[in-house]
């Protein structure tokens, strides 16, 4: 083992009792101080209320957030909505969740947001260009703007949990890309304060992503890099996740490589599920993904006790269509669980065998395989139909040149899930 890897292993292995976790002084579970309210000029649907607030995350750091609340009485599930890289507070998505009956909070995430878009969020990051200040951990990780992004998200979680009509036993977190990383991080730090999390593209184990050989490689101090990974990498926080967790990954993603997604999943001790979208980069062109069902010709909406409002749909309301059935099941008790794919052991390394646990009929079951290719983005995933062999078990015979495979199944809601990423080590 090299000196660098030995040092990384030593620092990461240090138990919490022997070191100070830099987040501990800030993560007290208390709602942040509201510094001021901003007048809302957005057009707001009649069935929800909208607030714009600015809160303090730490000294000299002010964070803007949107709070969207249904006007119907009673306890509501809560949703924390985390934007992706270059974005800002996701007002439209917060309002869409509120129209479904959720209380939603959507903050700016400094260090992830584009500083040019931050009007009310103020701190040392305002003087930086987008992307600057992330890969720092000296004298500790509080020097990194990602530390402030995490604080913003965690304080927003406390803000959400403090809302008068929120049911704190039914809290969800959703985010995309850097916001997906933040979703993983928040769920890991918050433990049982979150019931369900859904990360779109984002994951942990940044040393297994495209960043390993690009921006993170600029951290030439071995100890600094080790501190960053230990405290700011969401994968190292994944063992703390208590929520039911879903990760949606693109198998040819330019940023979050499948092996990083799989490593994050492997680190989560509890209930988890996922999908890999073959031949896709930062998109999920699968049923329930970034392609939304058409509403043309749909029956007129009829309100019910569980669904008092029309359900907003499309990319302005969600990043993936299947976020809705996922959270409705875990947070509102509506509908059925998502299918779950379990890979079956086989003495034949070229036999892709798996079991599907599902409450809904499947409309497709396939296996995608690829030849060896160190360039993740250029790896070609080829489909094979999976044959049902009974008792919800499926299999497909892989060609001799296959080195990697995963199963993909879809139901009619539409929802798509995958099995684990499987590496073929010998034939």
Residues 144-199: tens digit of each pLDDT: 999 999 999 999 999 999 999 999 999 999 999 999 999 999 999 999 999 999 99
- For the chain, how many residues are written? 427
Beta strands, E only, 76-218? 76-82, 103-107, 166-176, 196-200
Comparing 3-335 with 341-423, is the CATH topology the same?
no
What stretches of 73-132 show up as alpha helix (H) in DSSP? 91-99
- Taking the model in full, what pTM does it have? 0.91
HSE-CB of 34 using CA atoms within 13 angstroms: 15
Contact in structure between 327 and 198 (CB atoms under 8 Å): yes
User: Which pLDDT belongs to residue 307?
Assistant: 53
Helix 145-161 to helix 178-190 angle, to the nearest 10 degrees?
A: 60
User: Which pLDDT belongs to residue 18?
Assistant: 40
Surface-to-core class of residue 186, CB atoms within 10 Å of its CB (0-12 exposed, 13-18 middle, 19+ buried): buried
CATH architecture of the domain 341-423 equals Sandwich (2.60)
Strand order in the sheet with 272-277: 34-38, 48-58, 61-70, 103-107, 76-82, 166-176, 196-200, 244-250, 272-277
Helix 222-232 to helix 145-161 angle, to the nearest 10 degrees?
A: 10
User: Which pLDDT belongs to residue 8?
Assistant: 39
Contact in structure between 341 and 417 (CB atoms under 8 Å): yes
Query: What does the alpha-carbon distance between residue 226 and residue 219 come to, in Å, rounded to a whole number?
Result: 10
Residue with tokens 């040149």: 401
User: Which pLDDT belongs to residue 9?
Assistant: 42
CB-CB neighbours of 84 under 10 Å: 22
pLDDT tens per residue across all 427 residues of the chain? 333 333 334 344 444 444 589 999 999 999 999 999 999 998 899 999 999 999 999 999 999 999 999 999 889 999 999 999 999 999 999 999 999 999 999 999 999 999 998 999 999 999 999 999 999 999 999 999 999 999 999 999 999 999 999 999 999 999 999 999 999 999 999 999 999 999 999 999 999 988 777 878 778 888 999 999 999 999 999 999 999 999 999 999 999 999 999 999 999 999 999 999 999 999 999 999 987 665 555 566 566 655 555 666 677 899 999 999 999 999 999 999 999 999 999 899 999 999 999 999 999 999 999 999 989 999 999 999 999 998 899 999 999 999 999 999 999 999 999 999 999 987 5
User: Which pLDDT belongs to residue 359?
Assistant: 92
Query: What does the alpha-carbon distance between residue 197 and residue 244 come to, in Å, rounded to a whole number?
Result: 6
Query: Percentage helix, strand, coil, to 5, in the chain?
Result: 25, 25, 45
Query: What does the alpha-carbon distance between residue 419 and residue 129 come to, in Å, rounded to a whole number?
Result: 39
Beta strands, E only, 177-243? 196-200
User: Which pLDDT belongs to residue 215?
Assistant: 79
- The tokens describing 413, both together, are 């809601």
User: Which pLDDT belongs to residue 17?
Assistant: 43
Contact in structure between 207 and 4 (CB atoms under 8 Å): no
User: Which pLDDT belongs to residue 5?
Assistant: 39
Domain segments of the chain as ranges: 3-335, 341-423
What CATH class does 3-335 carry? alpha beta
CB-CB neighbours of 45 under 10 Å: 16
Helix 222-232 to helix 3-13 angle, to the nearest 10 degrees?
A: 40
User: Which pLDDT belongs to residue 311?
Assistant: 60
- The tokens describing 115, both together, are 């500083």
DSSP secondary structure code for residue 360 in this structure = S
């Amino acid at each position: 083992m090299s000196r660098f890897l030995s040092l990384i292993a030593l620092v990461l292995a240090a138990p919490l009792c022997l070191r100070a976790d830099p987040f501990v002084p800030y993560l007290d579970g208390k709602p942040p101080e509201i510094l001021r309210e901003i007048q809302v000029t957005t057009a707001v649907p009649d069935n929800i209320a909208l607030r714009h607030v600015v809160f303090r995350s730490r000294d000299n750091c002010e964070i803007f957030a949107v709070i969207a609340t249904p006007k119907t009485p009673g306890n509501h599930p809560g949703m924390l909505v985390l934007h992706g890289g270059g974005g800002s507070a996701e007002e439209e998505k917060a309002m869409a969740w509120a129209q479904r009956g959720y209380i939603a909070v959507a903050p700016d995430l400094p260090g992830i947001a584009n500083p040019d878009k931050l009007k009310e969020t103020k701190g040392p990051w305002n003087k930086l260009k987008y992307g600057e200040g992330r890969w720092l951990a000296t004298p500790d990780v509080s020097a990194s703007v990602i530390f402030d992004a995490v604080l913003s998200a965690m304080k927003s979680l406390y803000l959400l949990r403090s809302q008068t009509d929120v049911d704190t036993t039914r809290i969800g977190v959703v985010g995309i890309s850097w916001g997906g990383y933040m979703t993983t991080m928040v769920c890991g730090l918050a433990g049982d304060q979150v019931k369900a999390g859904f990360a779109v593209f984002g994951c942990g184990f940044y040393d297994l992503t495209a960043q390993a050989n690009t921006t993170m490689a600029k951290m030439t101090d071995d100890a600094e890099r080790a501190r960053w990974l230990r405290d700011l990498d969401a994968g190292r926080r994944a063992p703390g996740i208590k929520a039911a967790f879903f990760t949606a990954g693109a198998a040819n993603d330019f940023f979050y490589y499948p092996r990083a997604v799989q490593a994050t999943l492997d680190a989560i001790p509890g209930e988890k599920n996922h999908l890999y979208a073959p031949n896709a980069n930062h998109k999920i062109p699968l049923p329930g993904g970034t392609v939304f069902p058409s509403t043309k010709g749909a029956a007129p909406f009829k309100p019910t006790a569980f669904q008092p409002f029309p359900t907003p749909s499309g990319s302005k309301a969600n990043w993936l269509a299947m976020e809705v059935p996922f959270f409705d099941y875990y947070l509102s008790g509506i509908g059925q669980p998502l299918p779950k794919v379990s890979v079956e052991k086989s003495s034949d390394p070229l036999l892709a065998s798996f079991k599907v646990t599902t409450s809904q009929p499947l409309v497709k079951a396939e296996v995608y395989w690829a030849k060896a290719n160190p360039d993740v983005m250029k790896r070609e995933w080829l489909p094979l139909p999976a044959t049902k062999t009974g008792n919800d078990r499926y299999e497909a015979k892989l060609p001799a040149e296959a080195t990697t495979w995963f199963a993909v199944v879809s139901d009619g809601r539409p929802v798509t899930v995958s099995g684990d990423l499987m590496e073929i080590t010998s034939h």
